[in-house]
Amino acid sequence: MRGLSCRMNVAAVLNGLLVSILAAVLWKYVKLREHAFSVEEELLLSQQSQELSQVRIDYHGALQSLQEEGTRMVCTGKMHTDRICRFDYLCYSTEAEEFVFFHSNDSVMVPNLGSRRFQPALLDLSSVEDHNTQYFNFQELPAPALKFMPKPVFVPDVTLILNRFNPDNLMHVFHDDLLPIFYTMKQYPDLDQEARLVFMEGWNEGLHFDLYRLLSNKQPLLKDQLKNFGKLLCFTRSYVGLSKITTWYQYGFVQPQGPKANILVSGMEIRKFTQFLMDKLNVSLEENSIGEEYIVVFSRTINRLILNEAELILALAQEFQMKTVTVSLDDHSFADVVQIISKASMLISMHGAQLISSIFLPRGAVVVELFPYAVNPDHYTPYKTLASLPGMDLQYVAWQNTIEENSVAFPDRPWDQGGIGHLEKEEQIRIMKSEEVPRHLCCRNPEWLYRIYQDTKVDIPSLIETIRQSIKTKPSVKKVKMASVVHPGKVREAKCQASVHGTNEAKLTVSWQIPWNLKYLKVREVKYEVWIQEQGENTYMPYILPHQNYTFSENIKPFATYLVWIRCIFNKHLLGPFADVLVCRT
């Protein structure tokens, strides 16, 4: 038994040895093949990257970096709603339609949220806040898993990855996409004119793709096009997400629509952006060829029509003694629209996305927004909010049709064009009888759609009267200068001196020096605001003063302690900070 087993063992060992040698030889052969193959493949893949961006890359070096260092991510923002992330080597699987973070010993993930990354997401991919169709996240893999995956194609451009929100609607294009992209690019200097935009929302180019093209010299890529470049794309450097700093309106997803709670943009930034676009569109700001002031009626040709447009144009021309022209998105190129609007004294249009073009109006111009019957202008204010931003320097006027007979509704159209045929008869009757659309959430409220897609015969005397009452002067853009935006600094060397007269009377003399920056400025009007509060009291007495000292005697008691705050004000509305509080004892 022993001998047999020994012989068998020798045979087994020999067998095993043979198999091992064979395996080793095979292995070597496969490795060699693999090497030859991968050199060829690398060449092909780097050619693909080059095709993608005309930038030569060191494919081997890039692959090695990805394998050894993995993905690196550093983000700004405390919440998913204010976060933008910068990545080295963020990858995207076009088969899985998932972004991939590769972990290695050197990868970086800041913030490291653990599974809070899914509550609800790492960040918003569009500028619309916390919209659950716009979330961004990635899947994770260890870097060695790359061995089993399709060879990556590297995208060597610095890339901004984002979702457009509604690329067929001009208001959404500007407010949600173009302005946020422009200022996100300003935030990160390597997102320059050679940066690549990648739109992940999954739409086709959309109606206004040419406008997106103006933002960088490289053709933006759509989600659908990514798979043409390979199965695994790795962005050498990318930024993901959009700045929301410039948005001023919320569309009513969680509460009825209205201005954002904390608007952080002024006309200065909007106008800087429009200047950039106008340069790109070759629109010059020189004196217009007509040389005179004129009014623009922005018309819609498909729906929400002005039924008496010709009559309206005549009346406006006569009333304001100005040439009056019409433009529409259907009959003019966008560059032509901008050229015309950028020199207009007044823009008149039905409520609708075309009114975003008022960002191109010159300072001092008037915007007149027309609302159909039963649509309350106070409830829909994206263009009013825009025109009223400090530094836009536009005068805004809203007019509403209040005469039902001047309105034409379309109950038989499809629901998204205001049709109500799909509703219960009773509900249809209620809607048709209603005199005002109650406040509602976005986006499919049938009563809202029914009313907003009405055509309107504008009652001209009532419109002219509304415009006359709301605008201070004859519309004119000739002399309107940019208002100053320089705020005062703190007043300096504030002092107080008290004097007591008898047992009931006291005086408090307060003096201070001008703010440091004032000596370098020419300011039309400089005033000071002083608040005096008796210690322990809830109320204070405010004063506006023209000089740098004042003696207060009203309501000043002897043997009391007063807190005194002082700040400087330029031109009535530019408030400076309060200086450190003065504690004054009488």
Residues that bind ligand UDP (CB under 6 A): 169-171, 300-303, 329-330, 352-354
Instruction: Compute the least distance from the CB of residue 405 to ligand UDP, in Å.
Output: 23
Residue closer to ligand UDP (CB basis): 72 or 208: 208
What is the smallest separation between the CB atom of 442 and ligand UDP, expressed in angstroms?
Answer: 11
Question: Which H helix or E strand runs over 180?
Answer: helix 179-187
To ligand UDP, the closest distance from the beta carbon of 341 in angstroms equals 14
Given its phi and psi angles, is residue 315 left (phi above 0), alpha (psi -120 to 50 degrees) or beta?
A: alpha
Helix, strand, coil share of the chain (percent; to 5): 35, 25, 40
For the bound state, the minimum distance from the C-beta of residue 357 to ligand UDP, rounded and expressed in Å, comes to: 9
Distance of closest approach, residue 175 Cβ to ligand UDP, in angstroms: 11
> Minimum distance between the CB of residue 257 and ligand UDP, rounded to whole angstroms?
11
Measuring CA to CA, which residue among 457, 440, 260 is closest to residue 350? 457
CB crowding 389-424: b at 16 or more within 10 Å, else e = bebbbbbbbbbbbeeeebbebbeebeeeebbbeebe
Cα–Cα distance, 272 to 356 (Å, whole number):
15
Q: Can you list the positions of beta strands (E) in 281-334?
A: 294-298, 323-327
Q: How far is the CB of 300 from ligand UDP (least distance, A)?
A: 3
Cα 382 from Cα 352, distance rounded (Å): 10
Pairing of strands 574-575, 561-570: antiparallel
- In the complex with ligand UDP, the residue whose CB is nearer, 330 or 426, is 330
- One-letter amino acid for residue 45 of the chain: L
- Based on CB atoms, which residue is closest to ligand UDP, 185 or 347? 347
Please, which residue, 184 or 349, has the CB nearer to ligand UDP?
349
Cβ–Cβ < 8 Å for 366, 463:
no
Q: How far is the CB of 329 from ligand UDP (least distance, A)?
A: 4
CA dihedral 105, 71, 78, 178 (to 10 degrees): 170
Measure the CA–CA gap between 325 and 347, rounded to whole angstroms.
Answer: 10
DSSP 374-418: T--GGG--HHHHHHHSTTT--EEEEEE---GGGEE--TTS-GGGT
CA 195 to chain centre: 18
In the complex, minimum distance from the CB of residue 354 to ligand UDP, in angstroms, rounded to a whole number: 4
Question: 505 pairs with which residues across the strands?
Answer: 501
Which residue has tokens 């910068």? 86
CB of 374 to ligand UDP, least distance (A): 16
Q: Are 220 and 227 in contact (CB under 8 A)?
A: no
Query: Measured from the CB atom, is 153 or 374 closer to ligand UDP?
Result: 374
Q: Which is nearer to ligand UDP, 131 or 527 (CB)?
A: 131
With contact defined as beta carbons under 8 Å apart, do 299 and 313 qualify? no
Closest CB 536 distance from ligand UDP, rounded Å: 55
To ligand UDP, the closest distance from the beta carbon of 350 in angstroms equals 8
> Distance (Å, rounded) from C-alpha 84 to C-alpha 80?
9
* Residue with smaller CB distance to ligand UDP, 171 or 221: 171
Instruction: Quickly list DSSP for 39-97.
Output: HHHHHHHHHHHHHHHS----HHHHHHHHHHH--EEEEE-SSGGG-EEEEEEEEEETTTT
